[in-house]
Amino acid sequence: MSGEAILPALPGVSDHPSGGAAAPLPDVLPPVRARRGVLGFVRRHPTIAVGGGLLLLLLLAAVLAPLLWTADPTALAPRLRTREPSAQWWFGTDMLGRDVYSRVLYGTRVSLLVGFAVAILASAAGLLIGLVSGFVRWADGLIMRIMDGLMSIPPILLAIALMALTRGSVGNVILAITVAEVPRVSRLVRGVVLSLREQPYIDAAVAAGTRTPAIVWRHILPNTLAPLTVQATYICASAMITEAILSFIGAGTPPIIPSWGNIMAEGRALWQVKPYIVFFPALFLSVTVLAVNLLGDGLRDALDPRMARRL
């Protein structure tokens, strides 16, 4: 027996005298390929794919509403009132003869506009307030007491009170709901900032002489974007529901503007005999809120490493 050491064969290395490397193992590449592309993304994040797909379809329906065989949503036709859903009137007509299908599709514009606008404005305002409150110690107590006072009022009641001071319009509805949602965002951002402020790398940046604005911009702000993005999706869904409630009780958008809340409010008197007038806008509202919530749940799982199933 020779004195040469016997080494175990390494994977991927050939024992051929030429010393050439063997082909990669066939059971290594397929999982890697499976993770790439659209199909791999859908498999890893199905809730994001489903929620984003539904939301994209609703967005396209809102933008392309004039091209989707719709009529004027405000056109009155008393002789055609309360027609049942049929090949001519897909969702039927209401008590004034207006096409419910056209009103529902155009109402998608109002709900998506309110939801997206409130999510963006509330996130921006809450981010600014939360950063100031979390990093400026002397202002923290005052700002948070104001936020606590606003949070003590239910959002829908606060929105109704603000709408009572103004006239009904989409812009005023967005403003009223934004004011009601800002405290929740600011408290979330403040909590994240307070936890980040005690991290060692923040102490190191302070010791190195880095100014506070630079610390906030380089270290604090990027770490707040993930939870803020997830929170923004829930704010969007909540804003859509709040807008529908305000319009349903007559404190939201004017009746001349087709919105899902207005359509349901006008059809509630005929609910027992003509339920389709309320059913279709309620269905669209439910699907939209479901899509936004699915997107938010998927983003939470994707952005939070503790929720990841595999590394």
Phi then psi for residue 93, to 5 deg, are -125, 160
As a whole number of angstroms, the distance between CA 101 and CA 86 comes to 11
User: What is the DSSP code string of 166-210?
Assistant: S---HHHHHHHHHHHHHHHHHHHHHHHHHHHHTSHHHHHHHHTT-
Q: In one letter, which amino acid is 185?
A: V
Q: What is the pLDDT of residues 80-129, one digit of tens each?
A: 888 888 888 899 888 888 999 999 999 999 999 999 999 999 999 999 99
Which residues lie across from 93 on neighbouring strands?
99
Provide the pLDDT confidence category of residue 215 given band limits of 50, 70 and 90. Answer: confident
As a whole number of angstroms, the distance between CA 238 and CA 258 comes to 19
Structural domains of the chain, ranges and CATH numbers in brackets: 38-307 (1.10.3720.10)
15-24, 82-91, 262-271 — which is least confidently predicted?
A: 15-24
As a whole number of angstroms, the distance between CA 211 and CA 162 comes to 40
Residue 268 DSSP SS3: helix
Q: In one letter, which amino acid is 304?
A: D
**pLDDT score recorded for residue 2:** 45
**pLDDT score recorded for residue 241:** 94
Token pair 């003590």: residue: 152
pTM reported for the whole predicted model: 0.81
Provide the pLDDT confidence category of residue 306 given band limits of 50, 70 and 90. Answer: low
**pLDDT score recorded for residue 214:** 84
Percent over 70 (pLDDT), the chain: 85
Percent over 90 (pLDDT), the chain: 32
**pLDDT score recorded for residue 16:** 47
- The DSSP 8-state label assigned to residue 10 in this structure reads P
**pLDDT score recorded for residue 11:** 46
User: Taking a C-beta distance cutoff of 8 angstroms, is the pair 87, 145 a contact?
Assistant: no
Under the phi-then-psi rule, with left for phi > 0, alpha for psi from -120 to 50, and beta for the rest, what region is 155? alpha
Distances (CA, A) of 219 to 118, 120, 226: 27, 22, 13
Provide the pLDDT confidence category of residue 174 given band limits of 50, 70 and 90. Answer: very high
H or E segment to which residue 299 belongs: helix 276-303
**pLDDT score recorded for residue 36:** 63
User: Taking a C-beta distance cutoff of 8 angstroms, is the pair 123, 178 a contact?
Assistant: no
Tokens of 55: 């939301």
- List b or e across 89-120, with b for residues whose CB sees 16 or more CB atoms inside 10 angstroms: bebbbbeebbbbbbbbbbbbbbbbbbbbbbbe
Dihedral sign (CA 91, 93, 77, 107): negative
pLDDT at 56 over 90: yes
Q: What is the pLDDT of the chain when averaged over all its residues?
A: 82
Token pair 């994977």: residue: 11
3-state helix, strand, coil in the chain (%, to 5): 70, 0, 30
200 against 110, higher pLDDT: 110
63-67, 105-109, 152-156, 289-293 — which is least confidently predicted?
A: 152-156
Q: What residues contact residue 305 under an 8 Å CB cut-off, 6+ apart?
A: none
Distances (CA, A) of 251 to 245, 262, 281: 8, 10, 18
pLDDT at 222 over 80: yes
18-27, 191-200, 299-308 — which is least confidently predicted?
A: 18-27
